[in-house]
Amino acid sequence: MLKKILLVTFTAAVLACHAAPKTQPLVQGVSNIVPDEKQALVCKEIVGLIENYNYKKIKINDSISSLVLDKYIKDLDPYKYYFLASDIKEFEKFRYSLDDDFRNGDLSAPFYIFNVYLKRYNEFLTYAFTEIKAKQNYTQNETYVFDREKMPWTSSKSALDDLWRKRVKYELVNLKIAGTPEAKNVETLTKRYEALKSQSSKLNNQDVFQTIMDAFTETIDPHTNYFNPTNAQQFNEDMARSFEGIGARLQLENEVLKIAEVIPGGPAFKSKLLSAGDRIVAVAQGAGEFEDIIGWRIESSVAKIKGPKGTKVRLKIIPAGMEMSAKPVIIELVREKIVMEDQSAKKKVQTIQSNGKPYKIGIITVPAFYADFKAANAGDPNYKSTTRDVRLLIDTLKNRDKVDAIVMDLRANGGGSLVEAIDLTGLFINKGPVVQVKDLRNGVEVSEDNNPGVAWAGPFGVMVDRLSASASEIFAGAIQDYGRGIIMGTQTYGKGTVQSSIDMNKLVNPSIIQRLAALVGKTGGVIKTEKEGIQLGQINLTMAKFYRVTGSSTQHKGVMPDIEFPSLYPMDKIGEDTEPSALPWDEVKASNFTPVANLAAVKPGLIALHKQRMAKSLDYKIMEQDIAELNKSDKEVSVSLNEVKLKQERDSLEAKNLAKINSLRASRGLPAVKKGDKIKKEESFDFVQDESLRIMADFMQVTDPAAKGLVKNQTPLN
């Protein structure tokens, strides 16, 4: 129904609004980037979507226009490296007109601002090439201010040049301190800036439009986001944890597309014709003509290589180790569906000794709440999802590994699918409410797990940190509210809003898109194939809020852990409560749920045991030192350009860090390392995870060990 309403609303809006955009001022000395008709259409629709369907029910007016202008300028130049005070003064004429412009699909003002930014950026690059070759004096007591966010805009070009000079000098002195010859440093930095210049020359109106829409939508709320067609595809692939292509990770190196990794199980892997380090110089579709892709933007090249499963792609390859002048090798691959297993849920088992008794604990790491909705809707019985993956892992941990407890690691899990958060909770509770959702009309809907039985009825814990957000908070909050397990870590992010993904193409009458395609063709644009059509992108629109089964919102406050650790992330800089446009915390009526257990009596004892260990823990002491040092360095805004002074500071810091590393290694019976040594992966130690497992061992000792289950009167899932 919502899509029908939207279709009628926005088809009418498109037909009604034909205000001609203002003439975009040209910026001298730069190839001016201009918007196209697609972007004008999308901009108008986004205004309508926000005003009619965003949870805030906000009117796009002069106040919003002013905020958007400030955010857009800050997004382009956060540390005031490029714009002059005179540029900012000129942009003031747009302060109260962007709302009307966006409503009419007029993007001339923000595109003009971007072109001014591009001019300043290119001026900086030109200046940098000259300054790199200039003779530097590293004995002067100069200071480079790298964080200029709170400083005034530079008033003159000469002052800006001086800032740029110090920036280049800082990069050179860093290279010099590393011990490489000055001639090599000049070469290294020249290549670095040539790469930056190449990247800036490839910027297109899609990049600019994305930046404009980011500033616009994030002014409304932090999680209403527009994705241009390329970014929309990437977002949906990340959510599905799969894509269709050859199965290789690609990167751009010196204008050439290089294979960074061949994904096991994919066409490239099975063919044995491609290896990491190979370079792709041309692409052909099936029996079609080859297109040379050297110098292309990486997303443009990737779009040519990806494609529907079952289709053929031919590649011209320069094998790793061979000169670019070598004759390319031509290979042919048939594209397949690639599942990104390394970005999916994984398990491992660790044994913890506590009071002379071993406890075998399974750890399931969940990086996101993902689901391949496209495959699910198509009826694929083996579609990819977090819950399906975790259920299989639990089955293995329970029946093969015979673990005593399970810990779910949701650290740095930014969320994802609401449905998956509900279904995953259902693996650990019998039946009942999981989350409440209040829509923009203030209606509250209770989402429940309706599947009887559990996949795991034993001792359970959840690890969270400041980056655990959204669906992670729903899951952790439900586990806590039901008394189903122990939550360990730091206060979570506090994202308690619900976004609906809307395909912009589905909001517009197909005849409008056909007319738009014809218009793009007349103005010199590239018309895609009939199958692809004109792509308008996707918007994730905030349309509701999450509430725990207790009625408390996760917005702003997040989930407070039962056992708390110091935060490795600055709480005053990361989190929903640091976002100026974030929705507030509030409550709704509690839902009708029956807790599994009351762990209130258990928690104080677990906290006491945790604190006893921490008082004696070298890892904990060093963690607190690291956090204090990070907070101190976070307040620094400048650095010395005097080589001797800078080197002394760096050497002192490196020596201090090395001493800490070796003291920790000694405590674990590992040999000391020297400066520059690489620490083996198997020697790395996750202190927070290790302590969380010890907390679980405590938990099992203070609960009934004979019962082996905390979820009473529940049957296993079949």
Cβ neighbourhood burial of 713 (10 Å; 0-12, 13-18, 19+): exposed
Helices 205-220 + 37-53 axis angle, to 10 = 10
User: Three-state SS for 386?
Assistant: helix
**When comparing pLDDT for 710 and 233, which is higher?**
233
Maximum alpha-carbon separation in the chain: 79
**When comparing pLDDT for 122 and 707, which is higher?**
122
- Among 493, 489, 491, smallest CA distance to 688 is for 489
**When comparing pLDDT for 84 and 320, which is higher?**
84
- Among 121, 168, 178, smallest CA distance to 146 is for 168
Residue 413 pLDDT? 92
Eight-class DSSP state of 21 = P
- Among 583, 366, 611, 332, smallest CA distance to 472 is for 366
- Percentage of residues in the chain having pLDDT higher than 90: 58
Residue 137 pLDDT? 93
Q: How confident is the model at residue 716 (pLDDT cuts 50, 70, 90)?
A: very low
> What average pLDDT does the segment 129-136 reach?
92
Place of tokens 């199980």: 265
Residue 340 pLDDT? 67
DSSP 170-195: HHHHHHHHTT--HHHHHHHHHHHHHH
Residue 299 pLDDT? 80
Q: How confident is the model at residue 69 (pLDDT cuts 50, 70, 90)?
A: very high
DSSP 52-104: HHSTT-----HHHHHHHHHHHHHHH-TT-SS-BHHHHHHHGGGTTTHHHHHHT
Alpha-carbon gap, residue 628 to 696, rounded angstroms? 28
407 φ, ψ (degrees, to nearest 5): -120, 130
Alpha-carbon gap, residue 224 to 206, rounded angstroms? 18
> What average pLDDT does the segment 565-578 reach?
91
pLDDT tens per residue, range 253-310: 767 898 988 877 788 888 888 888 888 988 999 989 988 887 787 888 888 898 888 9
DSSP 599-639: -TTTHHHHHHHHHHHHHH-HHHHHHHHHHHHHHHHHT--EE
- Among 375, 365, 373, smallest CA distance to 342 is for 365
Contact predicate 569/533, CB 8 Å:
no
Residue 11 pLDDT? 41
Residue 314 pLDDT? 94
Half-sphere exposure for 623 (CA within 13 Å, toward CB): 17
Q: How confident is the model at residue 547 (pLDDT cuts 50, 70, 90)?
A: very high
Across 28-37, 101-110, 243-252, 273-282, least confident range: 243-252
Helix (H) or strand (E) holding 431: none
Tell me how crowded residue 506 is: count the other CB atoms within 10 A of its CB. 13
Residue 239 pLDDT? 67
Across 4-8, 67-71, 349-353, 546-550, least confident range: 4-8
Q: How confident is the model at residue 349 (pLDDT cuts 50, 70, 90)?
A: very high
Contacts 24+ apart (CB under 8 A), 441-445: 444/547, 444/588, 444/589
Written as one letter, the residue type at 536 is: L
Q: What is the distance in angstroms between the CA of the first residue and the CA of the last residue of the chain?
A: 35
User: Three-state SS for 545?
Assistant: strand
Contact predicate 50/60, CB 8 Å:
yes
- Among 493, 236, 468, smallest CA distance to 365 is for 468
Residue 121 corresponds to which tokens in the numbers above?
A: 């950026």
> What average pLDDT does the segment 427-440 reach?
94
Residue 80 has pLDDT above 60, yes or no: yes
Across 93-107, 410-424, 492-506, 674-688, least confident range: 674-688
Residue 398 has pLDDT above 60, yes or no: yes
Residue 513 pLDDT? 63
pLDDT tens per residue, range 182-215: 889 999 899 888 888 888 888 999 999 999 999 9
Contact predicate 115/30, CB 8 Å:
yes
Residue 533 pLDDT? 67
> What average pLDDT does the segment 5-22 reach?
46
- Write the CB contacts of 137 (distance below 8 Å, at least 6 apart in sequence): none
User: Three-state SS for 140?
Assistant: coil
Written as one letter, the residue type at 307 is: G
Residue 688 corresponds to which tokens in the numbers above?
A: 């927070």
Residue 20 pLDDT? 62
> What average pLDDT does the segment 124-136 reach?
93
Alpha-carbon gap, residue 411 to 510, rounded angstroms? 43
Helices 37-53 + 2-16 axis angle, to 10 = 130
Q: How confident is the model at residue 79 (pLDDT cuts 50, 70, 90)?
A: very high
Cβ neighbourhood burial of 607 (10 Å; 0-12, 13-18, 19+): middle
Q: How confident is the model at residue 530 (pLDDT cuts 50, 70, 90)?
A: very low
* Strand 143-145 relative to strand 405-409, pairing: unpaired
Residue 427 corresponds to which tokens in the numbers above?
A: 């693996």
189 φ, ψ (degrees, to nearest 5): -70, -35
Alpha-carbon gap, residue 700 to 697, rounded angstroms? 5
Alpha-carbon gap, residue 176 to 431, rounded angstroms? 64
Alpha-carbon gap, residue 392 to 568, rounded angstroms? 32
Place of tokens 């001019």: 119
Written as one letter, the residue type at 342 is: D
Active site residues: 470, 481, 495
**When comparing pLDDT for 292 and 686, which is higher?**
686
Residue 523 has pLDDT above 60, yes or no: no
Across 11-15, 237-241, 297-301, 559-563, least confident range: 11-15
